[in-house]
Structure 1
Amino acid sequence: MRIDWTSLPEAVTNEVADRVGGTHAIPASTGDHAEIAATVTGTAGKVFVKAAHSDFGVRSLRFELRVSEAVSVPHSPAVRWHFETAGWLVVGFEHCDGPHADLSPGSPDLDLLGEALTVLGKTPAPDVGLFTPKGRLGFEHPAMNGDTLVHTDLGPANLIITPHGLRIVDWAMATKAAPWVELAMLVPWLIGSGHTSRQAETWLAQHSAWSKADASVLDDFAAKNAEKWAFKSSQSTAGWMRDLAGWTGRWLTYRHRSGNT
């Protein structure tokens, strides 16, 4: 759960001020893995700061720190600095100026995402103890295993169009898996951005990992993912869960109707 910047211990804000030259903070509007996520401005410029002190928050942020250091630009914002004090882990990331990606049909941002997916599909997973497919998704299939770095959450909120190109943020759920898993997890976000299921699959077919994936494997993934989000949505009133349940369900229905199953 997010807390207000002013709730941080003075020891933390003083150290941030020493690095940034000030502590004018604007909270992030999305995400919830760290207790603090904010753009901090000072005489040294802007830095995106994440901080955590709960056991889960620290584990998650420490994982994200290690992955971000291993990946770095152009896939991930650079890590500027990090420190621990007063029970808090604090990380300063490169600040990414720009809007979130528009993934609607015909958007030029799709070309930038396509280029990034091509690079990521060839990026070996760093040796930092990444999630397994089952550990990340809660279900498994032998074909999901692999040695590629998979972000697993390429929704528009984690894609920023900067003057220097696309930046992919929030690597807290990075996974070691087969490259097609990244593409399959992107389908609901494409549907949520206005694509039909057919359009989403047609766009993903430009990548060899998608074309090489067996149809029965994709069917299995679509079914298990839809089942997972349907259950989660039934247990929660969160709108984003309801959206994902709807999008994953639409993809599964398409695969049934198109004769892929």
Structure 2
Amino acid sequence: MHPEAAAENAVPLARTVRLPWAELPAGVRSAVGERLGSPVTAAADQTGGFSRGTAARVRCADGSRAFVKAVSRAGDPFTVRLAEQEAAVAARLTPELGLPAPAFRGRLDRDDWLVLIFDDVDGHISTVPWREDELALTLAALTDLTERATPSPLPDLPSWGGPGETWDSWRQLLADEDPLTDVADWARREAPRLAAAEAGFSAAVAGDTLLHSDLRSDNILISGRTVTLVDWAWAARGQAWIDPMIFALCTAVQGHPDPEAILLAHPAGRAADPDAVDSALAALAGRFVVSARQPATWGTAPVRAFQRAEAATTIRWLQARWHRG
């Protein structure tokens, strides 16, 4: 189903416009082969995710494989910054930590291009809506991740969400007397309560667990009983319930009917302070509402569609939580 489908029950896909491997400069492609020790003879371009750069599974003349991401420094600065963040984190996620991350083979800076090279993970992205067996497998992997990542083995990472003062979307919308015509009636009525919940964001999410922070289906690879999390560009520190909350929200955006059940299936989700979770969800909902309104550029219409779905889903989840409360 296309991510811009307007039907309420549509399943939005995380898909963007990427530059194919074959269109990278020849010098960049040759440099990748040199780093891998054998020329690249085949490449399968990957379309999942929202970043703009090249993403490809490559095979070399000697039969070895790798996963390559490449971004042009002449492109948009946001994409380059994300690639720099991912490279910095990936270099520190060493196998000794025992985390479900792909091995990082290093970075290349060639001809104004930044290239990241990883082991190619032999796995597949879950179908959406999620199958129950793959959902259970991923929840078990997230439980193991939380145990291994608390306290964070990367203690100098930023706190999840960044500066608290940037999470004030509902308060700004109210201050601007925004009509909120793009949100559900319930959210318009409850906007002051959402703003009050959002105000506690920084204290609510502060913690010392290493978080992946971006657990959409396209960042989760499943192979047999093994789950690997890719794209750690948004890695941060925070409360242990944040990753399962994000995962629950992403599964709900893509068709699962009950994010609360997914959150509570994780030990940290069951132990979470309900008010803290509400604060995080309120802040996320406001951020999604504002972000979805931004103009679509360089093919970001799928991003905006996904953000609209995230806003609507988060609001519905909060409404259900507050109704039960």
Q: Same fold (TM over 0.5)?
A: yes
| Partner of residue 231, structure 1 | 290
Greater relative contact order (Cα < 8 A, sep 6+): 2
Match 2:253 to one of 178, 192, 204: 192
Conservation of the 8 A alpha-carbon contact between 1:131 and 1:173: no
Hey, which bits of structure 1, 4+ residues long, moved more than 4 A? Answer: 102-106
Counterpart of 1:125 in 2: which secondary structure? Answer: coil
C-alpha distance in 1 between matches for 2:88 and 2:294: 33
The answer to whether the 8 Å contact 2:204/2:279 transfers is: no
Given candidates 58, 69, 74, the residue that maps to 1:40 is: 58
Task: State the alpha-carbon separation in 2 of the partners of residues 233 and 13 from structure 1.
Answer: 35
**Change beyond 3 A, Cα 1:98–1:134:** closer
Give the distance between the partners of 1:103 and 1:213, measured in 2 at CA: 27
TM-score (norm 2): 0.70
Contact 2:128 2:254 in 1 (8 A): yes
- Aligned counterpart in structure 2 of residue 132 of structure 1, from 149, 154, 159: 159
1:60 aligns with 2:111: no
Q: Which residue of 2 aligns with 1:205?
A: 264
TM-aligned CA deviation for residue 66 of structure 1: 2.7
CA change 1:36–1:208 in 2 (3 A) is same
Matched, 1:92 2:158: no
1:244 paired residue among 297, 307, 310: 310
Q: 1:163, CA displacement in angstroms? A: 4.1
Worse-matched range after superposition: 234-243 or 110-119: 234-243
**Bigger mean CA deviation after superposition, 125-134 or 249-258:** 125-134
Distance 1:136 1:28 in 2: 33
1:165 deviation in Å? 1.0
- Indicate the residue corresponding to 1:78 in structure 2: 103
Structure 1, unmatched stretches of 5+, are none
Contact 2:260–2:317 under 8 Å retained in 1: no
Compute the displacement of 1:174 (Å): 0.9
Cα distance between partner residues in 1 of 2:273 and 2:104: 38
Give how far 1:50 is off: 0.8
Contact kept, 8 Å, 1:34 with 1:51, in 2: the verdict is no
Does residue 28 of structure 2 align to residue 12 of structure 1?
A: yes
Structure 2: which 5+ runs fail to align? Answer: 1-16, 168-200, 296-300
Give the match for residue 28 of structure 1.
46
CA contact (8 A) 1:103 1:110 kept: no
- Letter aligned with residue 212 of structure 1: A
Q: Supply the distance in 2 between the matched residues of 1:38 and 1:82 (Cα, whole angstroms).
A: 15
SS of equivalent to 2:241: helix
Distance 1:187 1:239, change over 3 A: same
User: What whole-Å deviation, never above 9, does each CA across 1:44-67 have from its counterpart, x for those lacking one?
Assistant: 322110112325444322321232
Q: One-letter code of the match for 1:49?
A: V
* Paired AA for residue 253 in structure 2: G
> In 2, Cα distance between the equivalents of 1:152 and 1:143?
16
Q: Kindly tell me: are residues 134 and 31 of structure 1, through their superposed partners in 2, closer, same or farther at Cα, counting changes over 3 Å?
A: same
Larger radius of gyration: 2
What TM-score does the superposition give when structure 1 sets the normalisation length?
0.86
CA distance in 2, matches of 1:23, 1:186: 36
1:154 pairs with 202, 207, 215, which one? 215
Alignment partner, residue 49 of structure 1 = 68
The offset of 1:128, in angstroms, is 7.5
Separation in structure 2 between the aligned mates of residue 34 and residue 196 of structure 1, nearest angstrom: 30
Over the matched positions of the two proteins, sequence identity in percent amounts to 30
Query: How far is the alpha carbon of 1:72 from its aligned partner?
Result: 4.3
Q: Say if 1:97 and 1:105 are closer, same or farther in 2 by CA, change over 3 A.
A: closer
Question: Per-residue CA shift, 1:61-112, capped at 9, x if unaligned?
Answer: 2321232232245511111343222222212111123321247576111222
Q: 1:3 matched to which residue of 2?
A: 19
Compared CA separation, residues 81 and 182, structure 1 to 2 (3 A): same
